[in-house]
Amino acid sequence: MGTWAAGPFDNDAAADWCAGLDEASPEQRPLLLEQALGEAVREAEFLDSWPGAKAVAAAAVVAAHLPGGPPVDSAYAPDFLTAGGRVTISAELPALALRALDRVLAEGSELAELWEEGGELDEFTASLAPIRAALADPAGVGVVGR
Domain segments of the chain as ranges: 12-136
| 64 touches 33 (CB < 8 A) | no
Output the tens digit of pLDDT for each of the chain's 146 residues.
Answer: 577 678 899 999 999 999 999 999 999 999 999 999 999 999 989 999 999 999 999 999 999 999 989 999 899 999 999 999 999 999 999 999 999 999 999 999 999 999 999 999 999 999 999 999 999 998 877 655 43
C-alpha 32 chain-centroid distance: 12
- Which spans in 1-120 are helix H? 12-23, 29-42, 49-64, 79-82, 93-105, 110-117
